[in-house]
Amino acid sequence: MKKAIVASSGGLDSTVCVAKAIEDFGAENVVTVSVSYGQKHSVELDHADSVATYYGVRHEVLDLSQIFKQSNCSLLKQSDEDVPEGSYEDQINKSETGVVSTYVPGRNALILTSVASLAQSIFGQDVEIFIYLGAHSDDAAGNAYPDCSKEFTDAIASAINIGTDHKVTVCTPLVEWNKAQVVAEGLRLHVPFDLTISCYNATNCACCGTCLDRIEAFRANGVIDPIEYAEEVDWTGCKPIDYIKKITVALIPVD
């Protein structure tokens, strides 16, 4: 018996992973899990729940917020720093450490090991389990988020596999793809992008690094992002995605 559990943030990348896991294993064998870690954009937990409801899969929430309560990462509620504007490249160039201020210390390591434990608790220790994580190459570029790199995910995947007697496998199907390729895969899978949120300000601000990355990815695919942004976005030359909810999704092909 094989089961899959997807680390779902309610964002674009993790929702593509939800769709891929369902394609691979069937919705009846997939569970999604989101993580509360004290993030300012905690609205993402609601989006993750909406994604699970859309696909008809079980959804769990883990609370890891106590681990990060002493961090001043700009992504966390207690931080006295604002989420920076501008592209990740600009942020890295301005950073004294070379790592963006929205990097949460050890977040993906904690998420993966916690999800592995949760999965074996849910499914049992004799079931073959696959954990899906939506890390992609744009997040790792320039070492902006070192725990999104293939080097990191390969290493922790090996450790988790060994530590679970080879019962749990970490899958990172997007890790060598850029954001535009992730969007293209989401279009193929008819992902409900309108249910997702990527913004670190929780407002679809169109100016933080993750919003800018998302906008450019949709532009690269010649389609309009179906979410509404706080600032006007130039979609010249792009076509809309026409969603017919739940059963069928009609997509206007990309030329």
CATH of the domain at 184: 3.40.50.620
| CA nearest neighbour of 225 among 154, 210, 124 | 210
pLDDT at 136: 93
Mean pLDDT of the chain: 91
Report the alpha-carbon distance of residue 152 to residue 147 in Å, rounded: 6
The backbone region for 165, taken as left when phi is positive above 0, alpha when psi lies in -120 to 50, beta otherwise, is left
Report the alpha-carbon distance of residue 22 to residue 6 in Å, rounded: 10
- Name the band, by pLDDT with cuts 50, 70 and 90, for residue 243: low
Report the alpha-carbon distance of residue 92 to residue 89 in Å, rounded: 5
pLDDT at 46: 97
Residues 168-203 pLDDT 10s: 999 999 999 999 999 999 999 999 999 999 999 999
Sheet order of strands, 2-7 included: 58-63, 30-36, 2-7, 128-132, 168-171
Question: 216 in a domain, yes or no?
Answer: no
Residues 159-164 have a mean pLDDT of: 98
- Name the band, by pLDDT with cuts 50, 70 and 90, for residue 237: very high
Question: 229 in a domain, yes or no?
Answer: no
CB 189 within 8 A of CB 19: yes
Residue 30 CA, chain-centre distance (Å), reads 16
Question: 201 in a domain, yes or no?
Answer: no
Residue entry with tokens 């966390």: 76
Best-predicted range by mean pLDDT (1-15, 134-148, 233-247): 1-15
Name the packing angle between helices 150-163 and 107-123 (round to 10°): 30
Question: 251 in a domain, yes or no?
Answer: no
Residues of the domain holding 49: 2-194
Question: 99 in a domain, yes or no?
Answer: yes
Question: 20 in a domain, yes or no?
Answer: yes
- Name the band, by pLDDT with cuts 50, 70 and 90, for residue 98: low
Question: 252 in a domain, yes or no?
Answer: no
Question: 243 in a domain, yes or no?
Answer: no
**Total domains present in the chain:** 1
